[in-house]
Amino acid sequence: MYVQELEPVAGSLGLSALVAALPLVIVLVLLGGVRMKAHLAGLTGLLAAVLVAWLAYGMPLDQTASSAAQGAVFGLFPILWIVVNALWVYRMTVRTRHFDILRRSFGRLSDDPRIQALVVAFCFGALLEALAGFGAPVAICSVMLVALGFDPVRAAVVSLVANTAPVAFGAMGTPVVTLAQVTGLPLDDVASVVGRQTPLLALVVPLLLVALVDGRRGLRETWVPALACGVAFAVAQFAAANYVSAQLADIGAALLGAGALVAVPHSRRPAAEPVRAAVLTGVRSEELDEEDSGREVVRAYAPYALIVAVFSVAQIPAVKDWLAKATQTYDWPFLDVVDPEGNPAGGNVFSLPVVSTGGTLVLFAGVATAVVLGVHARAAVKEWLATVHELRFATLTVTSVLALAYVMNLSGQAATIGHFVAAAGAGLAFLSPVLGWFGVAVSGSDTSANALFGALQVTAARESGLSPELLAAANSSGGVLGKMISPQNLTIACAAVGLAGREGDLLRKVLPWSLGLLLVMCLIVVGQSTPVLGWMLP
């Protein structure tokens, strides 16, 4: 049996926290300062965490290795299992050219570039975030906006800023699923609090996007459809996160937001020529003028409808109970950890929800998609294997970061840092979103930031008397605002629109908005930690 210690270094909490923080500092410096590739930085940080656990905390090497292995396994299943299958669905739509049909369908909804920005970057970007995440929305939406005639810089900035509100529930809820796993909090509890924070961003972001596209004139002339879109998105995300399914939160929000946008008469008014001349400074793609049959347009939308249908059926109580019966629970080998009070650590047991996990449900929807789009079985398997190959470095990154997080959590390193940070007292509520923001800014992933800092936030919350669910959620909600300034996302945006080497230009344009929205989120969390906004929490 391994008993966690809070002060293993010279009996000092401060020195112990300093040593415990070394793996995190190393990862952040390698990513943000040295600009090392994320998977190499993750592996280096994992090695540092193992050495600290073994040498400073006295955790036996076999238990240290076992905890790292459990983190890596969780990274593969269910986390990467979700991402691979979601991206596979997208790749099949590209292969059959139904993605191009979808793009043309969006272009015909309105000729107003401000409305196009909302449809493509905010609504469709949220749908892509729900299905794939990990930079896909920024890359795809940037290219689509350039094809519609947007200046490359403006297209990239709009796509980066739009990729905020849906991030916490992206990749079929991967960030909140990870957060629940590493903190030991129930998924429904964490998702419900996040679902009472990020929808508030959704009210603001569409207004910000029309301002970015066309300044004060854009805000003055299109604030009605922008607000309608934001309200519908926020309501759907709140409702799904709290009462339906965290995995469906972004899909429902994206679809309802787009529906509200199309329903507003302002959205269908032709744009004045001065607006188009001022905004559309690029070259419009001739492909947008091709005609598509109604049947093909329906097939283009079908994959997303199928995913919604599969997840909705899975939430029916009888079906949900039947799927849950397939969950396997194991005593994880070579792991016997108790906390300083003698309570067994949650990592001693490992659950494997083979059928009920989001990745398997997306796989079912993917098989149905292949049938609807007419993708031959051999071609579908080839696309799935190509997806796995495409994500090979992301796989290394996710597994190494989660292995690092599990070593830090089970050895007691996260608990030490949490007890030390708890000294911030009431200020902890304000700093909590900042920590998530910093983690995503450096790692480029809300999932990674939740894995790194989730347990730390919960420990600090319990020590300071704050709600663990609130600070855990704040880590994810604050993290979404770091996405637009992460080096990975900036590089993806530049590469997508032909601005290689101009990441610094984009950073200067989006940083003020990232910091401004972060301040808003910090104030929301502070309010929710007091009676002022405490009524918002479940």
Q: Which residues contact 281 (CB under 8 A, 6 or more apart)?
A: 149, 150, 151, 154
Q: What is the average pLDDT across 375-389?
A: 94
Query: Do 110 and 390 touch, CB atoms closer than 8 A?
Result: no
pLDDT above 80 for 82 = no
Query: Do 93 and 306 touch, CB atoms closer than 8 A?
Result: no
- pLDDT band of residue 49 (cuts 50, 70, 90) is very high
**At residue 189, what are phi and psi to the nearest 5 degrees?**
-70, -45
pLDDT computed for residue 64 by the predictor: 96
Segment among 168-177, 288-297, 500-509 with least mean pLDDT: 500-509
pLDDT computed for residue 470 by the predictor: 95
pLDDT, one tens digit per residue, over 14-24 is: 999 899 989 88
CB-based burial of residue 239 (10 Å sphere; 0-12 exposed, 13-18 middle, 19+ buried)?
middle
pLDDT above 80 for 449 = yes
Bridge partners for 330 per DSSP: 350
pLDDT computed for residue 118 by the predictor: 94
Query: Do 162 and 140 touch, CB atoms closer than 8 A?
Result: no
The most confident of 135-139, 158-162, 361-365, by mean pLDDT: 158-162
The pLDDT > 70 percentage for the chain reads: 95
pLDDT, one tens digit per residue, over 264-290 is: 887 767 767 777 777 776 666 667 678
The pLDDT > 90 percentage for the chain reads: 39
pLDDT computed for residue 324 by the predictor: 79
pLDDT, one tens digit per residue, over 140-175 is: 788 788 877 888 899 999 999 999 989 999 878 889
pLDDT, one tens digit per residue, over 205-256 is: 999 999 999 888 889 989 999 999 999 999 999 999 999 888 889 989 999 9
pLDDT, one tens digit per residue, over 172-192 is: 888 999 899 888 899 999 999
Query: Do 199 and 232 touch, CB atoms closer than 8 A?
Result: no
pLDDT computed for residue 168 by the predictor: 92
Q: Which of 102, 149, 383 is nearest to 283 (CA)?
A: 149
pLDDT above 90 for 80 = no
Query: Do 254 and 127 touch, CB atoms closer than 8 A?
Result: yes
CA distance 114 to 101: 21
Residue with tokens 């001022």: 278
DSSP string, 184-208: T--HHHHHHHHTTTHHHHHHHHHHH
Q: What is the average pLDDT across 61-85?
A: 87
Query: Do 172 and 358 touch, CB atoms closer than 8 A?
Result: yes
pLDDT computed for residue 442 by the predictor: 64
- Structure-block tokens of residue 193: 């609090």
Q: What is the average pLDDT across 296-318?
A: 84
DSSP 241: I
pLDDT above 90 for 369 = yes
pLDDT computed for residue 477 by the predictor: 95
Indicate the average pLDDT of the chain: 86
Residue 3: enclosing H or E segment and its boundaries? Answer: strand 2-3
CA distance 466 to 458: 9
Kindly report the number of other CB atoms within 10 A of residue 451's CB atom. 30
Query: Do 268 and 225 touch, CB atoms closer than 8 A?
Result: no
- pLDDT band of residue 361 (cuts 50, 70, 90) is confident
pLDDT computed for residue 70 by the predictor: 92
Query: Do 244 and 198 touch, CB atoms closer than 8 A?
Result: no
- pLDDT band of residue 501 (cuts 50, 70, 90) is low
pLDDT computed for residue 194 by the predictor: 96
pLDDT computed for residue 491 by the predictor: 73
Query: Do 409 and 348 touch, CB atoms closer than 8 A?
Result: no
